Structure 1
Amino acid sequence: MLRRLLSHAAIYGLAAQVPRVAGILTLPIITQYLTTVDYGVAGVVTAYVLALNTLHSLGLSVVMISSFARYPTRYQWIWRQLHGFLSVWSIAFGFVLGAVLWWGIPAEAAENRWEIILLQVLPVMFLGVTEFQAMFLYQISQRPFPVALRSFIVGITTVGINIYTIAYLKLGYMGWFYSNFFGSIVGFLLYAYPFYFKEKLWPILRFRWSRIKQSLQVSIPVIPHHFSFFLLDASDKLVMDVLRVQVPRIGLYNIASSFGLYFMAASNAVVQAASPFYIQYIAQPNNEKTARQARDLTFALQALFLIVTFMLCLWLKELFILLIRNEELRQAYPLAIIILMGYNYKPMYLGATNQLVYREHTKVLWKISSVAGVGNVLLNIVLIPLYGIQAAALTTFVSLMYMGYSGYLLKEYRQMSLVNYYPWLWLSLTVIALLVVYLLADINLFMKTFITAGVGIGAIAVYWFSGNRISKS
């Protein structure tokens, strides 16, 4: 099973990450033509978009996954109802997003305000629902290839337009907005034919309100849970904007946090591949054997994430020197180490929340995600004026750790759990790894190579042990 999961993750990840890696490799080209102001404007606008993005789907992904698992012969009717409702809702949502952007776009980008709004709003209003449902369909039906192919083509398109608009046309931050806009159009075209003509998932615009109300009763409590991911991933830049931190300082933090988000995007390939396996295990209640299989899967993934983030952070200073052709932006690597190490929380987070979601304990998810997200914002409001952008990196790490491990304290989880996940051991290992790699960031290349070899041997041993333990599942 572990090898099959990793093969699916490779299909999701390799195709999706090839253009992302290409995007990283273009940093030496485009950073010559970008400033901290460009990164600051892009960071602030993206923060406002992500803040509202959780309202776009209204948490209905939970209903889609549940209906697919529970009603395999008639989920299409439920999905078409939801598609019709979300298509109508997207129009209204687009106007709300436009109004917020009009207010939130920094003064440094005022001359391009209308252009930015249109580039951000139009794909959301008319294209977003198709991508949202198609991605979930292929993911939970264990068909990774369409998602991977789409990610590859859209990624390459976006990277190409980025280089053209930033390095050739010298458009600065506007290059990102143009490339994302055209990438959305290409992504819609790639999904539209198989989703509508092969799967026959045309929207039912005359949807039944009773079905929609029933779905919203399950999904609405999940919105604060989904919103918390914004509060953890992007709210730092929004808080800095509200606190009137200078846009160049926001840009410096944005380049640091982008490396954490690169890893998060890459790790989503593993998460996408793992989700069907988790559903397979937890769909069998009170089965200690499958509970152990889910735990073994979680442990294997957590070890993998911890090793990868440690290795990346160990070499992050050299990666900044190699990739960032801008001396001012290179100073962000210590912040990037702290942020990146926080993003290895996901496997342990999945180990608890997948069980809560499947058992429809969605009303308690806020105790994990909302507390983590709101706590991150409040700490930033208090600490950024005192300690600057360094405080934002530390609060992000602390909040991500809370997100990953607090679910194991919930009464609802303890009542259904059949095996011990040893969360506090994994948390301690993560904190120790952060302290060690932060102290080792500036050591010489020989020592880094020696440590890398040692960790690599350990990783092979972990994979071999985990593969033998889990692959028979």
Structure 2
Amino acid sequence: MARHKKNHTKRRHPSEGMKSAVAYTFASLFSKGLAFITVPIFTRIMSTSEMGTVNLYNSWQAMLTVVATLSLTYGGYMVALKEYQYERDQYESSVLTLTTFTAVIFFAVYSIAPDFWSRLLGLDKSLLVLMLVGFLLLPATEFWLARQRYEYKYKAATLVTIGSALLASAFSIYAVLYLQGSGKAAEGRLYANYIVLYAVAFVLWIYIMVRGRKFVSLRYWKFSLALSIPLIANQFATQILNNSGRVMIGWYVDNSAVGIYGTLSSVSTISAIIWSSINSSFVPFLYRNIDDPEGKKKVKDLSSILLLTYAVICVMITFLAPEVVRIIATNEYMAAIYIMPPISAAIFQNAISNMYANVLLYHKKSSYIMIASICGAILNIVLNIVLIPLFGYQAAAYSMLVAFIFLSYVQMHVSRKLHCSITHTNETVYDDRMIVLIQWVMIALSAVAIPLYDFIVIRYMAVCFLLVASLLLFRKSRSSM
């Protein structure tokens, strides 16, 4: 009876780790969801060209932040928090000094030829200054949030994440409405959004520096750079795969095309949030069972079920593209709904890559992930250079699809070869033939959606069938875990 009572008490009081994970997941989904929910507002109060400026700014910022922060805000930071368990304050202020130093270098390089950088990036000089300020301040927020997550201090972090997202969205909408028709709505939206984020980051920057009071430490810097520098190429290549299409559309077409492409691609990336949740749940299961003779079969079955479930979700979103676009955008965007199938298919290929990258990470072979990402990014750039001038901005979607298919096959081949070599077996982690079958059926169904956009009844029947199938697959995956 006492044991039952004790277990009941444990169930009623979840661990700090579990509460922290739930809180951070909710905060992340809330902020990403809020960004998507506000899209219908902005597409109705901003022109496609103004939307393009915002998309272009966000794309350049995502790519350049990796280099400007030396990738110090990524995975290596967590390792350092464990390594310097009793020196975290000092370590944190020291690496923040390092990112501040790199931000100052970026500002100096920009100051030499601001007109050149403005023409190259396709952004007004005022927006480039805004971006440079972000390189200086935003690492403080990233460092603080990462440490809060590491130490299971979720309350303040959740409040800051959700509060910042709400205020930034509210200020952005107000700024666009105030500047509507002035030609400065895009700049107003970006400044309003980032002023909120920078204000929070500035407070945290001061807090970290005052608490740590260790500004220069070659020991900390050497340790951090040894972990982060190998990640720069991988992170930069990943950002190129995700954002180079928008940047090159800006070069070869115009900002209006960037606005249309970026807005519609954001619809397709709804499924990426779903995959992030699926993958984060699958990874612990994979690592527990990858070397277990009885668990290997479960890994093969569950991985196929999860990918099949995700494929159904991606296809379902593709079939509903016309309705989704009518909700989030205006008629100006409807002519471009035909780029959603290849974008959705490309995002699914990335899920396959993640599956195989998980195996490489398990065997501590992350350098192979970096090499594959760089090759995929180069292929994407070359295809965009060739195809966008010939076929217009729609070609960027197909370039991304081809690049991600290439990446998925490289990851599959390398991960299979390394796993067999390390384990001295011919047994693969996943059912590769099934995954390839799911991959090409998904691509084919996405292509089928294009001619069916004019046939509402057929599409709705297909969506109902896919919905039932996804629910059945989800139940099966739950029972497998």
TM over 0.5: yes
Deviation at 1:442, TM superposition (A): 1.0
Match of 2:4 in 1: none
Match of 2:3 in 1: none
Mean alpha-carbon deviation: is it higher for 340-349 or for 182-191?
Answer: 182-191
Contact 2:234–2:373 (8 Å) recurs in 1: yes
CA distance in 2, matches of 1:67, 1:247: 41
Match of 2:456 in 1: 445
1:185 to 198, 201, 210: 198
- Structure 1 pair 308–240 and aligned structure 2 pair: CA distance change class (3 A): same
1:59 to 56, 62, 71: 71
CA distance in 1, matches of 2:294, 2:79: 23
CA distance in 2, matches of 1:135, 1:241: 33
2:467 to 452, 456, 463: 456
- Structure 1 pair 466–269 and aligned structure 2 pair: CA distance change class (3 A): closer
Contact 2:343–2:398 (8 Å) recurs in 1: yes
CA distances 1:380-411 after superposition (whole Å, capped 9, x unpaired): 11122222222210111122233344222114
Partner of 1:123: helix, strand, or coil?
A: helix
1:323 to 308, 323, 328: 328
The normalised TM-score by structure 2 is: 0.79
Deviation at 1:461, TM superposition (A): 1.8
CA distance in 2, matches of 1:204, 1:107: 38
Match of 2:133 in 1: 122
Does residue 363 of structure 1 match 2:367?
yes
CA distances 1:58-117 after superposition (whole Å, capped 9, x unpaired): 234332244456x5845837656534433433332344467787534469987xx34212
**AA in 2 matched with 1:174:** E
How much is the aligned-residue C-alpha RMSD, in angstroms? 3.9
Does residue 246 of structure 1 match 2:254?
yes
Equivalent runs, 1:191-206 vs 2, <5 Å: 196=208, 202=212, 204-206=214-216
- Structure 1 pair 20–349 and aligned structure 2 pair: CA distance change class (3 A): same
The normalised TM-score by structure 1 is: 0.80
Q: How many residues align?
A: 454
Structure 1, unaligned runs of 5 or more: none
Equivalent runs, 1:40-439 vs 2, <5 Å: 40-60=52-72, 61-67=74-80, 71=83, 73=85, 76=88, 81-96=94-109, 102-105=115-118, 113-125=124-136, 127-139=137-149, 148-170=158-180, 171-185=184-198, 187-188=200-201, 196=208, 202=212, 204-209=214-219, 211-242=220-251, 244-264=252-272, 267-268=275-276, 273-274=280-281, 278=283, 282=287, 286-288=291-293, 298-299=303-304, 301-325=306-330, 327-357=331-361, 359-410=363-414, 411-416=417-422, 419-439=428-448
Contact 2:54–2:186 (8 Å) recurs in 1: yes
Match of 2:42 in 1: 30
Contact 1:313–1:437 (8 Å) recurs in 2: yes
- Structure 1 pair 94–429 and aligned structure 2 pair: CA distance change class (3 A): farther
- Structure 1 pair 340–131 and aligned structure 2 pair: CA distance change class (3 A): farther
Partner of 1:206: helix, strand, or coil?
A: coil
Deviation at 1:252, TM superposition (A): 2.6
Larger radius of gyration: 2
CA distance in 2, matches of 1:135, 1:453: 41
CA distance in 2, matches of 1:181, 1:436: 40
**AA in 1 matched with 2:102:** W
Deviation at 1:282, TM superposition (A): 4.0
CA distances 1:129-151 after superposition (whole Å, capped 9, x unpaired): 22222343455667766655443
CA distances 1:309-337 after superposition (whole Å, capped 9, x unpaired): 22211111111112212x22222211123
CA distance in 2, matches of 1:50, 1:215: 21
Partner of 2:212: helix, strand, or coil?
A: coil
- Structure 1 pair 148–345 and aligned structure 2 pair: CA distance change class (3 A): farther
Deviation at 1:372, TM superposition (A): 0.7
**AA in 1 matched with 2:448:** L
Deviation at 1:181, TM superposition (A): 1.0
**Which of the pair has the greater relative contact order for Cα pairs under 8 Å at 6+ separation?**
1
Partner of 1:204: helix, strand, or coil?
A: coil
**AA in 2 matched with 1:321:** R
Mean alpha-carbon deviation: is it higher for 294-303 or for 157-166?
Answer: 294-303
CA distance in 2, matches of 1:6, 1:319: 34
**AA in 2 matched with 1:362:** S
CA distance in 2, matches of 1:304, 1:97: 47
- Structure 1 pair 138–348 and aligned structure 2 pair: CA distance change class (3 A): farther
Partner of 1:59: helix, strand, or coil?
A: coil
Equivalent runs, 1:6-25 vs 2, <5 Å: 11-25=23-37
Deviation at 1:341, TM superposition (A): 2.8
Structure 2, unaligned runs of 5 or more: 1-14
Instruction: Give the share of equivalent positions with the same residue, in percent.
Output: 16
CA distance in 1, matches of 2:302, 2:203: 33
Deviation at 1:379, TM superposition (A): 0.9
- Structure 1 pair 212–376 and aligned structure 2 pair: CA distance change class (3 A): same
